[in-house]
């Protein structure tokens, strides 16, 4: 069975059991401060479990792109070294939201694995939760009894809270889970060691394939036991090390003491099966990399590097690392996250660098190579995750650029490393070295400083094992302790810089429904549902959730609304509005004195109106760019506020002035057509993209129903949650102010609209008319500036010629004033010159002409005193004269200073009356 068939069978199977099949959410998460990347199938349904949102379907199944490279789930270091953990993998999942529960979930899982996929029953093991007395959690007998009807009891295992109980956080939905493991070892080995002894033991052929989570309880704070505050107090008072396991254990104890479990009225099922591991099992392979999911990539890498897979340990690891990482990198970029130097972008950059480094070290790739794998991957997934195929060129370009940059850094880092070795080596006292060497052996003697190793890691992206490897090649060791210490110091520094504390939500009213009215209203009456306190460094802020709100929360590039809440003639200002998951959160510096009042919630209307001018203009701009530049243009990011709009899009070259002008023209034409906004809410996503032809943005998560914004169905149809003008005429005018590059293959346009554009244009016109006035209102301004410049050129040429003549005259005059003394030709005179350059020039020319020259010129350069001293080379040698020293002495007369070389030096000063004394002093110097 091919991997494509395996995937389809999963989806078909659950479809036949009444599940709605939905697309994978993007890998990149935007509205959740606790998570950067999707790391499990359930992420996109989190709001359903939390009760923030009601699901459209009670049964759902999908294949979800997951990335486990940061936070709670981080498998990065394993990847490539083992055969069954990936950075990016597909998680096949089925969900029940308050519908079926354990019986159906487990029976269907069993049916699918053993009857559809025909996996051997005797090789499967299942686990159920054994209970936890400390935490008052019951054993999951229900699951055990269901399994007993299908599988021999000897293959039902009992797992602890760590493996078999799932919780989202300190409070919230939670419940036991039941895992399914498979034993893929050869029969002889199975005979020797029973598989049940290897379950959950990191054995590469006895692996977990499926986890079924039963969300059965809700954990709540127990006010009788002090709740959240008691836990907080325990944490603050804990005196031991808060990073070690003793703390975790003690905290868990306290946590269970101050919380209580409530059986949920509507229970949920959340399952996740590792697709690549499933393929390994069905295709009877020993490693995920031997399945048809990875083989096309591995084979391509092998051919490109001229090596064979399966022949040499480190080359194999490198090929696995690359085959794995290229998937993570490509799909994340396709979902809108470019590599960068912070947050999610940095995580991607690090993965990319890990791949480059393995290729560089073990496969001999010294030139960019990852980008060449993109087409192989894009074709492989064209029908599963089409977003990659659609942006193949763009993704490859971004990767290539990153690779080149990093390969250069890698080169510099390696040079740094070699210099270090060289230096340290020569710094050693030979005799000491040989004594230590004979006593302790070579390696002990040569240790690379841990801080230096950390510098390589931090600045040059050298993972520690690369430094180890390079060191070993030279017979050196790395000071591991020093490295870890340097890393800790830096971590603490950045932790201190980013510290902020988020308090618990405090409930004000029991209202659960939150209504967003901001598409239709700018003010409304509303109540506070809950609020919490945020401490950022020294500032305290509050976040408020309202039952009804006209405030638009920042998203899709559009900034959040500002405004105020008013009750009993007290006004509290809302400084920003943001989203967290699906909650709309209002920021304020001050809480209202009566939290339970009826509030009048009012949005700052003029700011909103200017902002939506800019937002609608980005839609017009997007469509115009596609017309002018081509269909490869896709939105890569945007920022829309009341001042400006910024639009990032995929395009490979700088736009010409002509292209910019055409884009502006189209947009302004669409503004003048005064196209009326057509806004459709709650459109099924398939209808929006297929029938209406909406431009969907890759990497946006839309849910199943979307909002479609149309300005002329033939011109611009986009999926968008933002706010817009009623008709394009409101935008008034559109002006591009800059076009630049942001990353490889991504351009950025900044533009302004409405009053702002008007102001800028008027300012420019004012400058223009001022210029005209200065030039006495010529008919043709450009022509008259041109002739002005022409005239200026002529004049400068004439001046230069005059100055040259003058200098020649001065030179001739000086030659007449020569004094011969003891075989030295002395010229010491006062002169008037236009520039310091001409002073220098005369000095050099006289030096070329006159032998045995000792020249001192005291010059008046446009009213400023300057001295030049020039001495023939032979005099410098024979008489040990030094122009630099002499000029310093002479400069005292003009209250100044200077210096230079033995044969030529200059000085400047402030006292023009001292020039005569300079001449006298110079003459006296040589008698
Ligand atoms: P493991 O203990 O093997 O790391 P897990 O307990 O972290 O697995 P879950 O969080 O329960 O796994 O995820 C559900 C399923 O997803 C697992 O049963 C497994 O098949 C798969 N899976 C988890 N992590 C990875 C990974 N890094 N690469 C590939 N598949 C994975
Ligand atoms: Mg894991």
Q: Answer yes or no: is 410 within a domain.
A: yes
How close is the Cα of 210 to the center of ligand 1, in Å?
Answer: 8
Most confident residue range from 239-248, 335-344, 435-444: 335-344
- pTM more than 0.85: no
Q: Indicate if 580 and 625 belong to the same structural domain.
A: no
Q: Indicate if 592 and 732 belong to the same structural domain.
A: no
| Residue whose CA lies nearest to ligand 1 atom number 8 | 208
Three-class secondary structure assignment of 779-790: CCHHHHHHHHHH
870: containing domain: 816-925
Q: Looking at residue 78, what is its pLDDT? A: 85
| Residue whose CA lies nearest to ligand 1 atom number 4 | 85
How close is the Cα of 521 to the center of ligand 1, in Å?
Answer: 46
Q: Can you give the CATH number for the domain in which 895 is found?
A: 3.10.310.40
Which is nearest to 595 in space by CA: 650, 644, 544, 559? 544
Q: Looking at residue 685, what is its pLDDT? A: 78
How close is the Cα of 38 to the center of ligand 1, in Å?
Answer: 13
> Which of 586, 603, 620 represents a domain boundary (last residue)?
603
Q: Answer yes or no: is 802 within a domain.
A: no
Q: Answer yes or no: is 541 within a domain.
A: yes
Q: Which atom of ligand 1 is nearest to the CA of 91?
A: 16
Angstrom distance (rounded) from CA 246 to CA 232: 17
Angstrom distance (rounded) from CA 611 to CA 644: 8
| Residue whose CA lies nearest to ligand 1 atom number 22 | 274
> How many distinct structural domains can be found in the chain?
5
Q: Indicate if 81 and 212 belong to the same structural domain.
A: yes
Q: Answer yes or no: is 787 within a domain.
A: no
pLDDT at 904 over 50: yes
DSSP state of 205: T
pLDDT at 219 over 60: yes
More reliable by pLDDT, 243 or 876:
876
Residues in the chain: 927
> Which of 541, 568, 603 represents a domain boundary (last residue)?
603
Q: Looking at residue 893, what is its pLDDT? A: 93
Q: Can you give the CATH number for the domain in which 547 is found?
A: 2.40.30.130
- Among 327-341, 464-478, 801-815, the minimum mean pLDDT is found in 464-478
Tell me the pLDDT tens digit for each residue of 262-307: 888 889 999 999 999 999 999 999 999 999 999 999 999 999 999 9
pLDDT at 627 over 70: yes
The predicted model gives 832-843 an average pLDDT of 89
Q: Indicate if 350 and 391 belong to the same structural domain.
A: yes
pLDDT at 758 over 50: yes
Q: Answer yes or no: is 228 within a domain.
A: no
Q: Other CB atoms closer than 10 Å to residue 404's CB: what's the count?
A: 15
| Residue whose CA lies nearest to ligand 1 atom number 14 | 272
Angstrom distance (rounded) from CA 367 to CA 408: 10
Tell me the pLDDT tens digit for each residue of 467-487: 887 787 777 888 888 899 998
Q: Indicate if 717 and 626 belong to the same structural domain.
A: yes
Please report which confidence band the pLDDT of residue 435 belongs to, taking 50, 70 and 90 as the band edges: low
Ligand nearest to the CA of 42: 1
Tell me the pLDDT tens digit for each residue of 722-741: 999 999 999 999 999 999 98
Ligand nearest to the CA of 277: 1
More reliable by pLDDT, 780 or 494:
780
Q: Is 724 annotated as a binding residue?
A: yes
**End-to-end CA distance of the chain, in Å?**
107
Element of type H or E holding 662: helix 657-672
Which sign, positive or negative, has the C-alpha torsion 653, 656, 662, 666? positive
Q: Indicate if 834 and 735 belong to the same structural domain.
A: no
Please report which confidence band the pLDDT of residue 834 belongs to, taking 50, 70 and 90 as the band edges: confident
- Please, what is the average pLDDT of the chain? 90
Q: Indicate if 700 and 733 belong to the same structural domain.
A: yes
Residue 586 near residue 548, CB atoms below 8 Å: no
pLDDT at 15 over 80: yes
Element of type H or E holding 313: helix 313-334
Residues near 557 by Cβ (< 8 Å), separated by ≥ 6? 615, 618, 637, 638, 639, 640, 722
Report the share of the chain in percent with pLDDT over 90.
64
- Among 367-371, 431-435, 734-738, 864-868, the minimum mean pLDDT is found in 431-435
How close is the Cα of 274 to the center of ligand 1, in Å?
Answer: 6
Q: Indicate if 667 and 737 belong to the same structural domain.
A: yes
| Residue whose CA lies nearest to ligand 1 atom number 19 | 274
Residue 483 near residue 454, CB atoms below 8 Å: yes
| Residue whose CA lies nearest to ligand 1 atom number 31 | 274
> Which of 603, 635, 666 represents a domain boundary (last residue)?
603
CB-defined site of ligand 1, < 6 Å: 68, 75, 85-86, 89, 91, 208-211, 272-274, 276-277
Q: Is 586 annotated as a binding residue?
A: no
Q: Indicate if 685 and 555 belong to the same structural domain.
A: no
Q: Is 720 annotated as a binding residue?
A: yes
Angstrom distance (rounded) from CA 198 to CA 123: 12
Q: Looking at residue 443, what is its pLDDT? A: 41
Which is nearest to 614 in space by CA: 645, 657, 582? 645
pLDDT at 442 over 80: no
Q: Indicate if 554 and 619 belong to the same structural domain.
A: no
How close is the Cα of 270 to the center of ligand 1, in Å?
Answer: 14
- Among 149-153, 176-180, 628-632, the minimum mean pLDDT is found in 628-632
Which is nearest to 199 in space by CA: 175, 166, 163? 163
Q: Looking at residue 927, what is its pLDDT? A: 66
pLDDT at 499 over 70: no
Q: Is 86 annotated as a binding residue?
A: no
Q: Looking at residue 698, what is its pLDDT? A: 61
pLDDT at 436 over 90: no
pLDDT at 536 over 90: no
SS3 20: strand
How close is the Cα of 72 to the center of ligand 2, in Å?
Answer: 9
pLDDT at 7 over 50: yes
Residue 67 near residue 329, CB atoms below 8 Å: no
**For helices 605-629 and 754-774, what crossing angle results, to 10°?**
80
Q: Looking at residue 697, what is its pLDDT? A: 59
Tell me the pLDDT tens digit for each residue of 583-601: 899 999 999 999 999 999 9
Q: Answer yes or no: is 172 within a domain.
A: yes
Q: Other CB atoms closer than 10 Å to residue 493's CB: what's the count?
A: 10
């Amino acid at each position: 069975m091919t991997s494509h068939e395996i995937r389809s069978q999963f989806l078909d199977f659950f479809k036949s059991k009444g599940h709605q099949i939905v697309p994978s959410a993007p890998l990149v998460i935007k509205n959740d401060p606790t998570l950067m990347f999707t790391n499990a199938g359930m992420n996109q349904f989190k709001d359903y479990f939390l009760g923030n949102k009601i699901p459209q379907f009670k049964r759902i199944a999908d294949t979800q792109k997951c990335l486990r490279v940061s936070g709670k789930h981080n498998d990065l270091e394993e990847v490539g070294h083992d055969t069954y953990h990936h950075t990016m993998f597909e998680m096949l999942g089925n969900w029940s939201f308050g519908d079926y529960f354990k019986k159906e979930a487990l029976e269907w899982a069993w049916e699918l694995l053993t009857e559809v996929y025909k996996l051997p029953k005797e090789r499967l093991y299942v686990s159920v939760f054994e209970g936890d007395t400390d935490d008052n959690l019951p054993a999951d007998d229900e699951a055990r009894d269901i399994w007993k009807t299908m599988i021999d009891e000897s293959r039902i295992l009992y797992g602890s809270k760590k493996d078999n109980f799932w919780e989202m956080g300190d409070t919230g939905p939670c419940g036991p889970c039941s895992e399914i493991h498979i034993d893929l070892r050869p029969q002889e080995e199975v005979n020797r060691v029973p598989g049940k002894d290897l379950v959950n033991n990191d054995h590469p052929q006895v692996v977990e394939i499926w986890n079924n989570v039963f969300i059965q309880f809700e954990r709540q704070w127990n006010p009788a036991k002090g709740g959240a505050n008691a836990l907080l107090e325990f944490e603050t008072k804990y005196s031991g090390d808060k990073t070690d396991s003793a703390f975790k254990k003690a905290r868990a104890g306290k946590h269970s003491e101050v919380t209580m479990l409530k059986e949920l009225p509507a229970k949920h099922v959340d399952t996740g099966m590792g697709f690549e591991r499933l393929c390994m099992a069905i295709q009877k392979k020993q490693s995920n990399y031997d399945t048809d999911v990875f083989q096309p990539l591995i084979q391509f890498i092998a051919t490109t590097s001229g090596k064979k897979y399966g022949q040499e340990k480190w080359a194999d690891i490198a090929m696995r690392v690359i085959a794995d990482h290229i998937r993570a990198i490509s799909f994340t970029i396709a979902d809108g996250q470019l590599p960068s130097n912070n947050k999610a972008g940095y995580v991607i950059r690090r993965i990319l660098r890990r791949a480059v480094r393995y290729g560089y070290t073990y496969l001999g790739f010294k030139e960019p190579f990852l980008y060449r794998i993109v087409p192989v991957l894009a074709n492989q997934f064209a029908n599963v995750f089409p977003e990659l195929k659609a942006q193949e060129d763009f993704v490859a370009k971004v990767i290539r650029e990153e690779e080149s940059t990093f390969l250069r850094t890698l080169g510099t880092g390696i040079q740094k490393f070699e210099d270090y070795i060289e230096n340290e080596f020569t710094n050693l006292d030979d005799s000491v070295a040989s004594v230590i060497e004979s006593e302790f052996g070579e390696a002990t003697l040569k240790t690379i400083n841990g801080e230096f190793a950390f510098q390589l890691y931090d600045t040059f992206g050298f993972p520690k094992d690369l430094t180890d490897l390079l060191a070993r090649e030279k017979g050196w060791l790395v000071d591991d302790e020093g490295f870890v210490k340097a890393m800790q110091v830096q971590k603490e520094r950045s932790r201190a810089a980013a510290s902020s504390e988020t308090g618990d939500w405090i409930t004000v009213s029991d209202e659960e429904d939150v209504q967003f009215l901001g598409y239709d209203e700018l003010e409304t009456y509303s109540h506070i549902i809950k609020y919490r306190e945020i401490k950022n460094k020294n500032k305290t802020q509050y976040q408020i959730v309202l039952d009804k709100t006209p405030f638009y929360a920042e998203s899709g590039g559009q900034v959040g609304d500002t405004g105020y809440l008013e009750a009993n003639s007290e006004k509290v200002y809302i400084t920003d509005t943001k989203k967290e998951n699906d909650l709309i959160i209002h920021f304020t510096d001050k809480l209202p004195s009566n939290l339970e009042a009826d509030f009048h919630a009012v949005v700052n209307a003029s700011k909103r109106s200017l902002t939506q001018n800019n937002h609608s203009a980005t839609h017009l701009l997007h469509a115009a760019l596609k017309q002018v530049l081509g269909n490869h243009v896709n939105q890569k990011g945007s920022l829309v506020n009341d001042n400006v709009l910024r639009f990032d899009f995929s395009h490979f070259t700088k736009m010409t002035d002509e292209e910019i002008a055409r884009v502006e023209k189209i947009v302004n034409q669409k503004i003048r057509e005064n196209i009326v906004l057509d806004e459709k809410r709650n459109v099924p996503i398939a209808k929006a993209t297929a029938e209406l032809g909406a431009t969907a943005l890759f990497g946006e998560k839309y849910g199943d129903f979307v909002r479609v914004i149309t300005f002329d169905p033939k011109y611009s149809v986009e999926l968008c949650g933002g706010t817009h003008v009623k008709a394009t005429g409101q935008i008034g005018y559109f002006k591009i102010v800059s076009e630049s590059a942001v990353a490889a293959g991504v351009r950025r346009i900044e533009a302004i609209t409405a009053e702002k554009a008007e102001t800028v244009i008027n300012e420019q016109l004012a400058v223009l008319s001022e210029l005209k006035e200065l030039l006495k209102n010529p008919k043709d301004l450009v022509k008259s500036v041109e002739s002005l410049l022409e005239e200026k050129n002529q004049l400068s040429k004439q001046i230069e010629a005059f100055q040259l003549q003058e200098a020649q005259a001065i030179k001739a005059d000086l030659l007449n004033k020569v004094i011969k003394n003891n075989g030295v030709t002395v010229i010491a005179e006062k002169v008037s010159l236009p520039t310091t350059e001409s002073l220098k020039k005369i000095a050099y020319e006289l030096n070329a002409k006159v032998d045995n020259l000792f020249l001192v010129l005291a010059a008046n350069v446009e009213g400023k005193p300057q001295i030049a001293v020039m001495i023939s080379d032979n005099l410098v040698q024979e008489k040990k004269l030094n122009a630099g020293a002499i000029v310093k002495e002479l400069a005292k007369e003009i209250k100044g200073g200077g210096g230079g070389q033995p044969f030529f030096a200059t000085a400047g000063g402030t006292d023009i009356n001292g020039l005569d004394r300079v001449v006298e002093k110079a003459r006296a110097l040589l008698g």
